[in-house]
Every structure is written in structure tokens, then in C-alpha cells.
Amino acid sequence: MALAADDRYIYLAKSGWGWPSRGKHGAGVVRFKLDGSAAPWPKEQGGTYLMLVRPYVEEPQGTHPPLLGGIAARNRLLYLSFTRENLIEIRSAESGELKDTISLEQPRHIETDSDGTLVVASGTRVVRVDPRTKQVTVLREGLKQAYGVALAAGAGQAGTIYVSDYSGQQIVALDRSGTEQRRIGRAGGRQTAGAWQADGLLHPGGIEVDALGRVWCAEMDLSPKRFSVWGADGKLAKELVGPTFYGCGDSFLDAFDHSIGYSTGTRFKIDYPNKTYAPIAVNGRNDRPGALLWPTWSGRFVTCNGKRYYTDEGPRRTPVIFAYEPDRMRALATVGVVRELQDSGLFAGVKAIARAKPMDWYSWSDRNGDALVQAEEVQVVPSPTGAGMFTYWGSLPGDDLTITLPSGGRYWQFAVTGWTPAGAPVYDLTQAKELARQKGEAGYVAMDAEHRVLIRGDPIMAYRPDGSIDWTYPSRCAMHGRPGVPAPGRIIEVHRITGLAPLPKEAGGQLFAMNGNNGEWYFMTTDGVYIQKIFRDFRVGGHKGPEYFISQESFGGHFVRTADDGKYYLVSGNTDARVFRLDGVESIRRFPVAQIGFTAEHFATAERMLADEAFGRKKRDRARVPRAVPEADGFVKRWPDGSLTEWTALNGQALAVR
């Protein structure tokens, strides 16, 4: 994306893949009035908020470079750069009509100078282009990959040109003639894994200069997502980190220290009194051949074999075991299906993987501590079911690192059969144990301290260690599956088992949490007792504070009792990782064992209640809803009280509207 503005509009240029046709790549420009409301284009350009400048066509997602590289606005004209086409288009800012074109090698970001010329990042150069004569003047050559440009106008820097060198990992300051003045960011850039280096850039992209002469840079990296702000002296002034990946599936707390949190593959120090956080390390990368994916999903911490481990749910939906180290997490072991490794392209040098059939099973245990997959560390066996191993949302191993996964209509368990010199658990696939026949969907699998296997499916259920069913609980509402209204005891659209924690000693056993697609969280004991739900279903009105409203598609989350303070915490959100302390769990107690009698008289009474209009078919009330057509332009402040009608809960039940 790229932004530009003039005295009337803000222009947002987007190049990427559309929804729902995510296999198609196109480019367009959206414009807004200065008050933030949408400004549709004329009918000649479609008459909608989006002017399509390149039609969406079939193309693999992630193909680079993007179609549209940058945008600039001046004197009622728009300048759009098309990197692949070696082209700059000049269009009317009012009508969108194409006025002219300029040929230029790999143009990316554009700025308009006070004299009407364009300053453009072009391949490995920075150039000045006169749009009237189309003359190109080279200002600077020899960059690794020029990406963003910005022009300083004040604070003693008038005429200074800044250019971000995406592959050179620095921002270069030039005078108007192109002579280098200084560089911003440590030489070589920020390291991709390990202890945090705040004074380094990593893939600097779009840049701008504010009225104080500070340079703002959008770094094009995901671990973490960062805007860095640099003073006129070239030193870091501020860093703004966030948001999470979509759905907050990658965010969790450290089980040993509640002041340490993780998100987007990054370790953060949390300051609870001041409600701030700062990155302190990057967990790892899969940027080398043979490297397993670094932890990108929430999981759980365990102490096993005298060491601390982290078990990731696995981006391939099969778990990965990591060593917990001071400034990173180091991949140790995993089991899975060969096809997933073959498709990634990172393991072409491992013959056992290259020669295997796609549905074969593999295990890997690191022997030399380098976190890379080598041939002597891999075991491959034919799938005994002829099928792969897969859960849609992931799985959590047990405290002893036993892994349970479904395959071919059965649940299989992989126990640790040894340890390598590097401290990695060994999973001998020839000793895999068939636990039980699969009953229903296996959306998520976890194991409690007593080796119960918990299944998020329909129903939610648990297997005993001998493979017999321990308990079931109804969960008939699948994701986006017309779930009906929320009600006490009803579990709706669960994604994951987000964590397990010991209950107070007086209660015994463990508590586990599940996150619902509509924002509710549900808590049960691992022996099958429903405890409570928290947060509000986003479809029900009456929300009094955004901190208790998680919204739809909060795919991730984490529930944990931290060892340093003994408190219960959970992490949830949609594109932000919100940390909650959960009070009241310590008050949970079990009822004394007792028998409940149910007689024929009780049954007859229940039948009479159901037949009674007062309890059964209640009279339907009528409500008059005013017919009104709001201006649906996304500008919520124009709506009275933010909405036309607010529906609230009634007698503990939500209101269903048909």
C-alpha cells in the first residue's frame, strides 16, 4: 500500500490479492475526504470508492514485486508507479482519467518536489523525473534496492532527500544533488533472530519526514511489525510495534514469568503498571534451508526431563517442540506428514524426505543443536492408515511431551522414546500407539496432567488413557454454522483449547479454556464439568467497554497460570493481544458427592410445565422498529449514539430476531 494527499483528498493505493478471490492479483486507488469519509470516483471509473487501475487476474498469492509501487499527488494530478511494467501513469486526481505515461526502470515510491519534478526510487537508484519533458536525472546509484523516498521541508533540512534501501537495511540521506549526507540505522541492519537491536532497521519500506525533521519508517517485516521514528541526528527516537497477525493466533504469556509475553514471533517485556510493552528478542526464523518454522502460534510451556520446553501448536497443525532459551526459542523435534515438508521447499537436501510418499509420516529430533533438519536426524515410515495427520486448529502435547494426532479415523499417540545429546525428545514412529477410534471432527487435540485426551469437536469430549470415552459435552454450532443465540451453558463455534491450568488444591484437577468465534470464552474442568463463560458475544448489544468485547474471528488466545505469582491470565484479541488477569478461579470448589433422586412425580411435573403457556409457548410480543436508512459510508459519528437500535439481553437470554 501507499498513501498520498492533496488539499482535498487522501489517496490510498493498494496492490494485492482480493477477497474472496485470493488467487487473483490486482491494483486500485481508494480516496477519502479530509474528514475521513469516503469519496467515490466518477461513474466513468465505476462510481464506487475503488478505482481499479489494474484488473484482478489469476496469480499465485505472494508473487513479487507487486503491481503498484507508489503514488503521489500534486496540482490535481496523480502519479502511479507500476514496478513490473517499468511505468509511471499520470491520471486526473478528480476523474481518474489517464493523461500520460513515463517509462522508468522498476519505479517504486514517488514524491513530488516543489519545482514540480518527481523524486522516484527506481531499481538500485534514486532519480529525478520531469513529468513535462520526461527527462530522467540520476541522483544516486549503487543502492541494493531503493524502496521509499521522502523529502524534508523544515527543521533545517530543506531539500534533503531520504531513501530507504530495503536490502541494504538502512535509510540514506542525500542533498538535492544526490550527495550522501548520512545514514540511519546500524550497518547491516537488525539481526533476524535473538536479542532485540532497536537501533537497527530490517527491510525498511515506506518513509516520511514530519515537521520536526524526524524520519518515520514502516519496516516491511512481520517479527515484529514495526514503525521506527528517527531523529534528525540519525538516532532512534521512538518505536511503535504492532499489531498482531490476524486473529491474534500467535500471542501468549510466559508460564514462568507473567511479565514476558510473545506475539508475532517476538518476545516482549510487559510493564503492567504503565500498560506498556517493549520487544526484547525475536524467537527465530525459518529463513535457512532445513529450518523448521519458528513458533507462530500459541502453545504451552512445560518442564520435562529437568528442562523447560515450549510446545507450539504448529503452523502445519502438528506440534513442534522448542528449547526455551534466554533470547530465542530453538526448534528441537516434531512429527508430521512428509507432504508438508516437501511443499515448503526448505528440505530438498534431505533424501529421506525428497524420496518419501506425500502421506508418509516423519519424525525429526535435533542431534547437534543447530535447529536444522539433517538426513541422520529424520525417520520416515509409511502411514499405517494411508492418510496424513491433521487437526484444523492444532494440538498441544502433554506435560511429558506425548503427542496425540488423528489419522485415518483413529487417534495415534507418540510418546518420547529417548533424548538426543542436544536435549531433543526422540519419537520412534514404529512405537506409535493407536489410542481410540475417532468420533466426530477433531478440530483440536490436547492432553491434561492425567493423560486424558481432550478433543474440540462435535461433541467436545475426552478419552481416558485406555482409549475409552470419559465424557462428552454438546457443541453443535460449528464456525460460521448458523449458531443461534448465546445462552447459559451453550458452547458456540469453538476454535481452540487455549490452555490448561491447575485448579486450586481444594478443587483438584485442571481447568481448560476454549475461545469461541463470536468472542465468548468457555471454561471446563478436564473431567467434564462446565464452569462458566466470559466476554460478550459480539452479536449481542449492550457492550459497555471495548476491553470486554473480543469481536469475531479471534482465532488464537492463551490461558495459563503463571508460576511466578500463581495468578490466572488469558490473552485474547482480534488484531491486538489483550492480557487479562482472571480473578475468582481460586474460589472454585467441587460439590460433595451425592445422589439426586428423580421420581415419576418429578417427571409428571416437568411435563405439565412444558405444556403450560407460562413456561412453554409464550405469547409473542410485538415491537415497532422505526424504518430508517442511514448513510452507510463508514463514518460512524454521524449515527445517533453509534447505532439506530440497541438490543440487550433479557432475563439472561439473548434476543433472537427472525
pLDDT above 70 (res 375): yes
Give 122 or 293, the one with higher predicted confidence: 122
**Higher per-residue confidence, 428 vs 550:** 428
**Radius of gyration over every alpha carbon of the chain, rounded to an integer in angstroms:** 29
pLDDT of residue 636: 52
**pLDDT of 512 over the 90 cut:** yes
Pick from 652, 513, 493: nearest CA to 585: 513
**Cα dihedral value 500, 506, 508, 514, nearest 10:** -30
Mean pLDDT in residue range 210-220:
95
Question: Can you tell me whether residue 45 is helix, strand or coil?
Answer: helix
Mean pLDDT value of segment 271-280: 97
Percent of the chain whose pLDDT exceeds 90? 63
pLDDT of 469-509, one tens digit each? 999 999 877 666 667 788 889 999 899 999 999 999 999 99
Q: What is the pLDDT of residues 325-335, one digit of tens each?
A: 888 899 999 99
CATH architecture of 2-193: 6 Propeller (2.120)
pLDDT at 641: 52
Average pLDDT over residues 33-48: 86
Task: Answer with the residue of higher pLDDT: 153 or 321.
Answer: 321
Give the whole-number percent of the chain exceeding pLDDT 70. 90
Give the chain's largest Cα–Cα span: 97
Task: Give the C-alpha distances (Å, rounded to integers) separating 503 from 261, 498, 583, 590, 621.
Answer: 23, 16, 13, 11, 44
Mean pLDDT of 564-569: 98
Lowest mean pLDDT among 340-344, 399-403, 465-469, 560-564: 340-344
Q: Is the dihedral of CA 8, 13, 19, 21 positive or negative?
A: positive
Segment among 185-194, 409-418, 534-543 with least mean pLDDT: 534-543
DSSP 464: -
pLDDT value for 639: 54
Using CA atoms, how far apart are residues 168 and 476, in angstroms rounded to an integer? 53
Say which residue the cell 538502512 belongs to.
170
pLDDT at 361: 95
Average pLDDT over residues 583-600: 91
| Residue 630, pLDDT score | 61
pLDDT at residue 57, as a whole number: 86
Average pLDDT over residues 569-587: 93
Q: Is the pLDDT of residue 110 over 80?
A: yes
- What pLDDT is stored for residue 610 in this prediction? 78
Question: Is residue 582 predicted with pLDDT exceeding 50?
Answer: yes
Confidence band for 652, pLDDT divided at 50, 70 and 90: very low
Give yes or no for a contact between 124 and 142, defined as CB atoms under 8 angstroms apart: yes
Distance CA 429, CA 424 (A): 15
Burial class (CB in 10 A: 0-12, 13-18, 19+), 114: exposed
- pLDDT reported for residue 487: 86
Phi-psi region of 144 (alpha: psi -120 to 50; beta: other; left: phi over 0): alpha
The confidence score (pLDDT) of residue 445 equals 94
Which residue is listed with cell 534501501? 165
Give the least confident one: 214-223, 346-355, 456-465, 545-554. Answer: 545-554
Residue with the larger pLDDT of the pair 477 and 220: 220
Query: Residue 541 pLDDT more than 70?
Result: no
At residue 294, the pLDDT reads 67
Please, what is the average pLDDT of the chain? 88
Q: Rounded to an integer, what distance in angstroms lies between the CA atom of residue 184 and that of residue 237? A: 12
Q: Which of 560-564, 606-610, 641-645 has the highest mean pLDDT?
A: 560-564
In angstroms, the CA 119 to CA 116 distance is 10
C-alpha span between 602 and 608 (Å, rounded): 10
Q: Is 305 left (phi over 0), alpha (psi -120 to 50) or beta?
A: left
CA distance 289 to 446: 30
Q: How confident is the model at residue 650 (pLDDT cuts 50, 70, 90)?
A: very low
Q: Range with the lowest mean pLDDT among 139-143, 236-240, 368-372, 606-610?
A: 606-610
Comparing CA positions, the residue from 407, 412, 362 lying closest to residue 388 is 407
Residues 325-336 as b/e (b if ≥16 CB within 10 A, e otherwise) read: eeebbbbbbbbb
Check whether 234 has a pLDDT greater than 80: yes
The full set of domain ranges for the chain reads 2-193, 283-473
Looking at residue 638, what is its pLDDT? 59
In the numeric block, the cell 510473545 is attached to 262
Q: What was the pLDDT predicted at 21?
A: 58
Residue 67: CB partners within 8 Å, gap ≥ 6?
A: 15, 25, 26, 27, 54, 82, 83, 84, 85
